[in-house]
Structures are given as C-alpha cells and as structure tokens.
Amino acid sequence: MKIDLSLSPIANHLENPRWPVLIAGPCSAESEEQLLNTARQLKASKRVSYFRAGVWKPRTRPGSFEGMGEIALKWLQTVKQETGLRTAVEIATTEHAELALKYGVDVLWVGARTSVNPFSVQSIADSIRGCNVVVLVKNPVNPDLQLWLGALERINRAGITQLAAIHRGFSAYEKSVYRNEPVWNMAIELKTLCPALPVICDPSHIAGKRNLVPLVAQKALDLNMDGLMVEVHNNPCIAKSDAEQQLTPGDYAQMIYALQLREVSPAKPELRSELDAYRQQIDILDDTIFQSIAQRMSISQKIGRYKKDHNLMVLQLNRWEEILEKRCSLTTAIGLSYEFTKRLLELIHEESINLQTEIMNGRD
C-alpha cells in the first residue's frame, strides 16, 4: 500500500543536484561566536545546504543544558545574514514554532521525543497550518512505523508540503555499538510506502560516537537515503550536549568528500546486462525457495492433522530445538550466519505453528 502524502521535494542548495541534501551544525546553539565560527567553516566546505542548531534541548535528565532559547534565534539570523546558509531548528511546542517562524528559520524539525506524541504533533501542525516552511519529522524513539507516518500525515494535513522524514535510529534496551539502533528496514519501508517523501539520515544520533558517524553515513547513502543531518561543532570536546558524537568542521568536510555516491543502475549497457543476468538467477532461486517453503507448510499441515488425530501438543519444544541445532550447524558450514538462519527458521516455525493451531481449532 502506498501512502499519498502531497509533497513537493525539499530543495538542495548544492551546485551538484546528485548530492544528497546536507544539513550540518551543532547539537546545541551555545553562543553567537560558536555558531558563527562553525557556520563559516561549514560554508567554506561547500557541502552544506542547511545549518542546524538546537535552541531548546529535550534532555533526558533535568539539570543538563536545556538550550539558550530565543536569544539563539537572533544568533541564527546573524549566521544566515553573514553566510547565506539557511537555518534549521528543532521545535517541540507551538510556542517554539511561532518563535522560530518569527525569526525567519527556514526549516523546522520535530524531534524524536515529540514525534511519539500525537497530541504534541497535532498542536504543532495546527500552529504552522499553511505556512511556507520546510518541516522534517524525526522517527519516534520507539520503532513504530505507524506513529512516524501518523506524525508526517498530521503535518502534511496542515498544508505543509515541503516535508521530509529523518531517520535517527531507535532506543533499545539492550547494549549495542550504536547509541540508537538503526533498524534500517523501517526507513526502507517508509521509502517504499511514501516514494515521494525524502528520507534523511541522522548518522550522529544513530552512531553516538564520532568515529562511527562516517560508516553510518555511507550506509545511509548506499541504501538510497536522500540526505544527511550531521552534528558539527567548532570544538566538540567542550560541547554542552552530545559532545561524543559531534564532528569538527574539518572532519565533516573530510567525511563528505570521502563519501561514495552510487548510481541506481550502471551507465554502460554491457554492465547492465551482467546485472540483469545476476537478477535472473536471483529470481529463479527465489521461486525455488518459496516453492520449497510452500511445500514445507503443506507437510506441516499434514503433521497438524496427525497431531489433532492423536491428541498431541502443537508446540513440541524438543523437536524445535533439534531443528534449530541441525540447521544452524549446517548453514554455518555453508557460509550463512547463525543469526540469519535462526531468524529465518523462527519465522517459518511461527507460520507452521499458526497453521497447525488453526487445524487444532477446526479452522483449516
């Protein structure tokens, strides 16, 4: 199902239209000097379309630096006048939205802690109804695609058509190398559901550590994301928020120039036919895989009828453990990862169990 958000693409101001939309700037606006210094260096890199800065900061614990507020909007006006960079600011309340518009901010973004709350998103949407402004909606902190879509729809229904999503990763209970789990599938699913909606990746909040930022940024571009939002500070070590993940303007420029921009399809026809040949092989193999799965399910159903006739439990834990062990030792020997085999088998097993449960309950 495709979702019809009525959209006009958000503009890129780089000279090369193939470049993704690039938004860069500090996590927080701390002083006029810090903003101007960072913005001047970013401008010199010629690889930035918008200058970001947090003016009101949603901090996890009270007592941390909560942003400079209205005065920082004045500094951003100066940045814009001096460098010509368009500005982007996070808004979380109707008051923030009104102030940001009053000071001529070009791009408003709804943060991850706000996009989880439909009441907040709706009140922001009502306060900017019909305004000529670009709005970006970060994914909610929890991996819920419907909630993300709902937030985008609320803004879009308020007549905002210059709209994009920002993929900044999701909170996870378990420890990981990332600060926020990317769950790339969810960003891909959003692109599939809303083909006209630009999806911008925020590698800084996914990575949480500056050395991981370039890897995440490259992966985002490899997955055909439409842009990047990167945290850049003139002196990250003394940043008042997210010090560990911010890049210096020099590191940013180096990262951007090193990024590989890939094509959707090869330019030369002979290379295209090689790709087509591989794809034909994949299509044939996929058919075989799905036919085998269908056969497996029909045998599972026979087993389900047998279990019903002999009054046996649907879930046979020993058998499931045996399947898992046998398959995983086989597939790791032929080069598939244990994790992948386990996930695939779990999916197949779950479907088998569902089919057999229906048989038990007489619904087959």
Could you list the residues that contact ligand PEP (CB under 6 A)?
Answer: 27, 54, 58, 90, 111-113, 138, 168, 205
Q: Least CB distance from residue 111 to ligand PEP, whole Å?
A: 3
Is the CB of 241 or the CB of 300 nearer to ligand PEP? Answer: 241
Q: Least CB distance from residue 82 to ligand PEP, whole Å?
A: 23
Which listed option, Mn ion, ligand PEP, none, makes contact with residue 118 (CB within 5 to 8 Å by class)? none
Q: Least CB distance from residue 116 to ligand PEP, whole Å?
A: 10
Which listed option, Mn ion, ligand PEP, none, makes contact with residue 29 (CB within 5 to 8 Å by class)? none
Q: Least CB distance from residue 58 to ligand PEP, whole Å?
A: 6
The residue at minimum Cβ distance from Mn ion is 27
Q: Least CB distance from residue 54 to Mn ion, whole Å?
A: 6
Q: Please say whether the beta carbons of 204 and 176 come within 8 A.
A: no
Distances (CA, A) of 147 to 78, 119, 169, 190: 36, 12, 14, 11
Q: Least CB distance from residue 294 to ligand PEP, whole Å?
A: 42
Q: Least CB distance from residue 27 to ligand PEP, whole Å?
A: 5
Phi, psi of 232 (to 5 degrees): -135, 130
The binding site for Mn ion (CB under 5 A) comprises: 27, 242
Is the CB of 51 or the CB of 359 nearer to ligand PEP? Answer: 51
Which listed option, Mn ion, ligand PEP, none, makes contact with residue 111 (CB within 5 to 8 Å by class)? ligand PEP
Q: Least CB distance from residue 12 to ligand PEP, whole Å?
A: 20
Which listed option, Mn ion, ligand PEP, none, makes contact with residue 112 (CB within 5 to 8 Å by class)? ligand PEP
The residue at minimum Cβ distance from ligand PEP is 111
Residue 305's contacts (CB-CB under 8 Å, 6 or more residues apart) are 359
Which listed option, Mn ion, ligand PEP, none, makes contact with residue 58 (CB within 5 to 8 Å by class)? ligand PEP
Which listed option, ligand PEP, Mn ion, none, makes contact with residue 182 (CB within 5 to 8 Å by class)? none
